[in-house]
A and B are shown apart, each in its own frame.
Chain A
């Protein structure tokens, strides 16, 4: 993957501004609400009965933060995202049995949460850089499935 200076700066900038707890929890909750079938992976997470329950669920909030911090690794290793996520890919495939299509769903939700946070500053060019970054992450997470 070849990153332009603009892309590197944009990704670093976005992540430096993120409130990991707020954004992580909001993103995972949004994913479970907008794509309810993703709730299949969260059977042990308590009350997911409706949008309000999901948004107030502390286990979901905590897990969302965990996921977002997982993205940090890619931000810090943009030139080697595939290797960085090899282990996590195996985990998601062999232990968690997560359909890799779900990674795209979560990443779309993250894009929308970040857009809501940044407003006008989330221009088309910034969106393109962010989506490119997320697509590399998604691809790396799916790499070890077989």
Chain B
């Protein structure tokens, strides 16, 4: 359950991070690959070495989608419709990986925002990313 204040906070944070979407996205992915090697299996067709163009463009896509969703969280199911289909029928990523990625995104935010990543911001962001992942997985079955 997200309060109005939390939704504001989440939208603010992603708005601020949109200009560095590539950096944030690539870092979160790299953290996931380092801590959950199984997640790399979904990227066997790409070059996911640090600072590779594939990694950065992919990271950027993900962050921009998360940022877009944050603009109107009550509309997540609508905003994510096409991505739901993509993930369910084409990518077919095991949803545990969404949890791994969300955690690594939180760590990335902590490393970048340092003390600004307060417990309240952390709680709000964790809730948002969980909701995002749940909606993303809705068409899986």
Contacts and interface: CB of A to CB of B under 8 A. Distances in A.
Nearest to B106: A112
Interface in A85-118: 108, 111-113, 115-118
B141 interface: no
Interface string B6-48: 0000000000000000000001001101110000000000000
A108 B111 contact: no
A33 B117 CA distance: 13
A112 B120 contact: no
A124 B35 contact: yes
Determine the interface band of chain A, counting residues with CB < 8 A from chain B. Answer: 20 to 34
Nearest to B115: A116
B83 interface: no
B34 A112 contact: no
A116 B114 CA distance: 4
Secondary structure type dominating chain B contacts:
helix
B111 A33 contact: no
B103 interface: yes
A51 B119 contact: yes
A55 interface: yes
A119 interface: yes
B126 interface: yes
A112 B27 CA distance: 15
B122 interface: yes
A122 B107 contact: yes
A102 to B, nearest CB: 15
A115 B112 CA distance: 9
Interface stretch (A11-19, A76-84, A125-133): A125-133
Contacts of A131: 35
Contacts of B104: 127
Given A34-B123, A112-B117, A124 B110 contact: no
Contact of A127 (B107, B115, B119, B126): B107
Interface in B85-129: 103-104, 106-107, 110-115, 117, 119-120, 122-123, 126
B111 A128 contact: no
9 contacts: A33-B120, A55-B119, A115-B110, A116-B113, A117-B114, A119-B114, A124-B30, A124-B35, A127-B34
